[in-house]
A and B are shown apart, each in its own frame.
Chain A
Amino acid sequence: MVSTPVSDGALPPSDTVLSAQRIAKSFNGVQVLFSVDFELRRGEIHALMGENGAGKSTLVKILSGFEQPSSGSILLDGKPVRLPPNGAAEALGIVVIHQEFNLAEHLTVTESLFLGREVTRHGLLDRKHMRAETRRVLDLLGCKISETAVIGALSVADKQMVEIAKAISRNARIVFMDEPTAVLSQSESAALFAQVRMLRDRGTSFVFVSHKLDEVIALSDRVTVLRDGQWIKTAPTSSLDGESIAQLMVGRELSSLYPQKTEPNVDEARVLTVTGLTTAHVRDAHFDLRRGEILGFSGMIGSGRTELMEAIAGLGPRSGEVRIGQALMPPGDVQATTAAGLAYMTKDRKHKGLLLGADMTANLTLQSLDQHGAWGYLSPKSMARALERARRRFDIRVRDARVQAGRMSGGNQQKLLLAKVMEVAPHVLIIDEPTRGIDVGTKQQIYHFIAALAREGCSIIVVSSEMPEIIGLCTRVVVMRAGRIVGVLEGDEISEQEIMRYSAGLKQKAVA
């Protein structure tokens, strides 16, 4: 076999723990990986980069036994192996933190951590020991959730932390992390990275998939880039910068990430007015949105942004007033708010956004079936046209048009979700985490798309935990903390420090 082109690091190649040669993979006759080489050394953090659908998750699944390659070989400690399926590779010390997590919703945190390897004493479950061990791992991660909490009741970020805790508690030699930080706040990510570095120094190897370039540069030792299922380059991270990685991924130069900001006129009509909105967690929220405005919502995870937005969209109970234009919206009535032209895009695409078992057409049209025929009849032609349009408009890249949504790459699922919401042609759009799990090239597309919508007169609320996104996109930013709106920033005030000050509770100003 021709030697792999991945020998340009500091460590001698004998330290290779896992390597893959000429891996190819097809699903139903559609090839998604083409002769990919990959090498993982002992005690390194190896970043795997690429656009949405490039094949990162597929490669991760192959290297961890969740999928078998169509051809090619995998070597563990230099010896060819056939990895056992369905997570049985854990016995070999290979653990995966999946992009779409796999937690049973009704178990407690402790139960999920010890699922399949429960500790027993005299044949009985040793609950005390398991709880204590769970607490220890959670504390290591700086995670405050209770070890007896039920998974189903946790937020997305907490679920991700449980998934990470699970991997760490298994004393793995090789850990695959597929976009572990997509749903985490900065402080949570930092706690995770500290653990990863510590484990790396003890000899654990990590494969790290992320679309956040700054994280990759800060954390990883080497980077491998995939593009359209092909291996492009493997290099030490120190020899690259964000710009060059992005360029390798996309295959072309990227112009500016954020579009030109255009402030709406002060006398533009108010399209959304929220007065005294209160829910279980949100207290007395007041704000308004003008026509053509992009309004940002910032704050820590758990500050009540999503609950506020869902209440506005009629998806949860509330008191207080919501007006779209002049019309007063009845609480808890999604149909009414949708009819009034407001649409909400959820951040939880797996549980609230997409039907993972259904195909793209069914998902795309689900919210807007009325458009595709009269008297409840659906025209397949009209729906096919809608799909064609949406795929072009949002650049949804799949190699098989009838693939189940759950099998699309994470980023393409996100684009499909946005397309689905846009099918109702809203004039007030609330987007919760618009770029979760999306590559830089696509991020740029989505930012420009949002800006173009605003220029056409659509008004947009962007809820995001990614500060640069809020700062780069919005002309006004609302900061929330512990269920309250604590500040509204405009113009030059919009900066990372200023937003942090408000969301950490160091500063507060009365809001009109």
Chain B
Amino acid sequence: MGTDVNQEVEVKSRWQEIDLRAVAPFVALALLLLLGALVNPNFIGLNNLANVATRSAFIALIAVGATFVISSGDLDLSVGSMVAFVASVMILFMNTNVIADPGMMIAAAMALALVMGALCGLANGLITTLGKIEPFIATLGTMGIYRGLTTWLSQGGAITLQSAEQQELYRPAYFGEVAGLPVPILVVLGVTSVAAFVLYRMRYGRHVVAVGSNPSVARYSGIKVDRVRTTAFVIQGVCVAIAVVLYVPRLGSTSATTGILWELQAITAVVIGGTALKGGSSRVWGTICGAFILELVGNIMLLSNFISEYLIGAIQGAIIIIAMLVQRSLVRRS
């Protein structure tokens, strides 16, 4: 039999088969935009939205990396501290002026940041896999280490970019526009496209999801489980570094409090986006949608008069719970 029945299915279900969980974050985004427009007419202006998107870029980039780590069944709590640490080292390096040409100096500093990010990620990965320590605990440890190193480097104060020439040259990396779009938005779109390609079109992406949904099955299928997990942490580190490269020109300085609680925002973005926290699924476009939603909520509260913006943390906390509840009910329905 088989064949005739199959054809019938092939024809009819394209529409029914749309995965509600994948669509949910985008529906939520649309509803928020509508709400924002009602609250304040200025909100829906392109200028405001572009600003919001630009500000969400840091969390979005970090969360793209977190999508890899979470899909493979792990968790990285150290990303916020890692931002502070990598940024501090990057600025200190620029302040040494070892390369005379400021352009070259900036390029070298960017490269250094990327390497540092990758190494921090590698450390997280090796501690979790080789050390066989729960990722929650392992990255809680490195979170303290990276934060502590930052505080030590800055001696409790701030680390500031000194050369005005460098600052001037570096500014466009955050404040510039290409073809009418702010650079950070372009970077986010680029990084997410690459991530989506890796996750959905490459062998490594399949391995990540397999390891996240059942490590034994992955092992029995000849997948090097530890290597896949470690690589995910390295990707996370590189994503953090890319965020740092955008972050440094924005303020030109860091301190011991840079990036505090960013790990929670990144995880929230990933979960809002529809990736399961227990691993085994990855929705990287949903992730950046989630990051955008988080920033948007803050913006709406700022523009509205009826909720204090001091409540923003509470609202974001409520959002993550609502997102989980929605996901849960969608799972049950399907």
B residues in contact with A376, CB < 8 Å: 202-204
The closest CB in chain A to the CB of B204 belongs to: A376
Candidates A29, A355, A357; contact of B16 at CB < 8 Å: A29
User: Contacts A352-B220, A366-B210, A402-B17 known; A378 to B2 CB distance under 8 Å?
Assistant: no
With A355-B209, A355-B210, A377-B201 given, name 16 new contacts (CB 8 A).
A29-B9, A29-B16, A228-B1, A334-B222, A335-B222, A344-B220, A352-B216, A352-B217, A354-B217, A362-B210, A366-B217, A377-B202, A378-B201, A399-B5, A399-B9, A400-B13
B206 CB-CB contact with A under 8 Å: yes
A355 touches B214 (CB 8 A): yes
B253 CB-CB contact with A under 8 Å: no
A400 touches B9 (CB 8 A): yes
User: Contacts A334-B222, A335-B222, A357-B280 known; A378 to B217 CB distance under 8 Å?
Assistant: no
B residues in contact with A401, CB < 8 Å: 6, 9-10
A6 to B10, CA, bound (A): 37
B328 CB-CB contact with A under 8 Å: no
A122 CB-CB contact with B under 8 Å: no
A315 to B12, CA, bound (A): 43
Candidates A338, A346, A351, A397; contact of B214 at CB < 8 Å: A351
How many residues of chain A get a CB closer than 8 Å to chain B's CBs?
Answer: 35
User: Contacts A338-B222, A357-B280 known; A378 to B202 CB distance under 8 Å?
Assistant: yes
A residues in contact with B12, CB < 8 Å: 29
Complex interface residues of chain A between 328 and 346 (CB less than 8 A to chain B): 334-335, 338, 344, 346
B213 touches A355 (CB 8 A): yes
A367 CB-CB contact with B under 8 Å: yes
Q: List 30 A-B contacts (CB under 8 A).
A: A315-B219, A344-B220, A351-B214, A352-B217, A352-B220, A353-B217, A353-B220, A355-B210, A355-B213, A355-B214, A355-B217, A355-B280, A356-B214, A357-B281, A358-B210, A362-B210, A366-B218, A369-B207, A370-B203, A373-B203, A376-B203, A377-B201, A378-B201, A378-B202, A397-B2, A399-B5, A400-B13, A401-B6, A401-B10, A402-B17
A278 to B214, CA, bound (A): 28
| Shortest Cβ gap from A438 to chain B (Å) | 17
B220 touches A346 (CB 8 A): yes
B221 CB-CB contact with A under 8 Å: yes
B132 CB-CB contact with A under 8 Å: no
B residues in contact with A218, CB < 8 Å: none
A357 touches B213 (CB 8 A): yes
A366 touches B213 (CB 8 A): no
A2 CB-CB contact with B under 8 Å: no
| Majority-rule SS of B interface residues | helix
Candidates A29, A338, A352, A370; contact of B13 at CB < 8 Å: A29
B13 touches A366 (CB 8 A): no
The tally of CB-CB contacts under 8 A between chains A and B is 83
B residues in contact with A369, CB < 8 Å: 203, 206-207
| Shortest Cβ gap from A411 to chain B (Å) | 15
The closest CB in chain B to the CB of A379 belongs to: B201
A369 to B12, CA, bound (A): 30
A228 to B5, CA, bound (A): 12
A30 CB-CB contact with B under 8 Å: yes
A399 to B280, CA, bound (A): 25
B16 touches A351 (CB 8 A): no
A358 to B210, CA, bound (A): 9
B residues in contact with A356, CB < 8 Å: 214
| Shortest Cβ gap from A310 to chain B (Å) | 9
B residues in contact with A420, CB < 8 Å: 221
How many residues of chain B get a CB closer than 8 Å to chain A's CBs?
Answer: 31
A255 CB-CB contact with B under 8 Å: no
Interface residues, chain B, CB within 8 Å of chain A?
A: 1-2, 5-6, 9-10, 12-13, 16-17, 201-204, 206-207, 209-210, 213-214, 216-224, 280-281
User: Contacts A351-B214, A351-B217, A357-B213 known; A367 to B9 CB distance under 8 Å?
Assistant: no
User: Contacts A351-B214, A377-B202, A400-B9 known; A366 to B221 CB distance under 8 Å?
Assistant: yes
A357 to B331, CA, bound (A): 12
B9 touches A335 (CB 8 A): no
A28 CB-CB contact with B under 8 Å: yes
Interface residues, chain A, CB within 8 Å of chain B?
A: 28-30, 228, 315, 334-335, 338, 344, 346, 351-358, 362, 365-367, 369-370, 373, 376-378, 380, 397, 399-402, 420
B residues in contact with A400, CB < 8 Å: 9, 13
A306 to B250, CA, bound (A): 60
| Shortest Cβ gap from B331 to chain A (Å) | 10
Count chain B CB atoms within 10 A of each CB in A344, A355, A378 and give the residue with the most: A355
The closest CB in chain A to the CB of B198 belongs to: A376
B residues in contact with A378, CB < 8 Å: 201-203, 206
The closest CB in chain B to the CB of A313 belongs to: B220
The closest CB in chain B to the CB of A228 belongs to: B1
Closest 10 CB pairs of A and B: A367-B221, A369-B203, A352-B220, A376-B203, A366-B221, A376-B202, A334-B222, A352-B216, A338-B222, A355-B213
A399 to B6, CA, bound (A): 6
A356 to B16, CA, bound (A): 21
A362 touches B206 (CB 8 A): yes
A370 to B206, CA, bound (A): 11
| Shortest Cβ gap from B254 to chain A (Å) | 36
B residues in contact with A28, CB < 8 Å: 13, 16-17
A2 to B5, CA, bound (A): 29
| Shortest Cβ gap from B216 to chain A (Å) | 5
Count chain A CB atoms within 10 A of each CB in B13, B214, B222 and give the residue with the most: B222
Count chain B CB atoms within 10 A of each CB in A29, A352, A366 and give the residue with the most: A366
A residues in contact with B6, CB < 8 Å: 399, 401
A402 to B14, CA, bound (A): 11
A399 to B214, CA, bound (A): 26
A353 to B204, CA, bound (A): 19
The closest CB in chain A to the CB of B10 belongs to: A401
A residues in contact with B214, CB < 8 Å: 351, 355-356
A residues in contact with B224, CB < 8 Å: 335
B residues in contact with A402, CB < 8 Å: 17
| Shortest Cβ gap from A152 to chain B (Å) | 11
A367 to B203, CA, bound (A): 11
A122 to B56, CA, bound (A): 56
A30 touches B9 (CB 8 A): yes
B residues in contact with A346, CB < 8 Å: 220
| Shortest Cβ gap from A444 to chain B (Å) | 18
A335 to B224, CA, bound (A): 8
| Shortest Cβ gap from B273 to chain A (Å) | 18
A residues in contact with B223, CB < 8 Å: 366
B residues in contact with A367, CB < 8 Å: 221-222
A residues in contact with B216, CB < 8 Å: 351-352
The closest CB in chain A to the CB of B200 belongs to: A378
| Shortest Cβ gap from A352 to chain B (Å) | 5
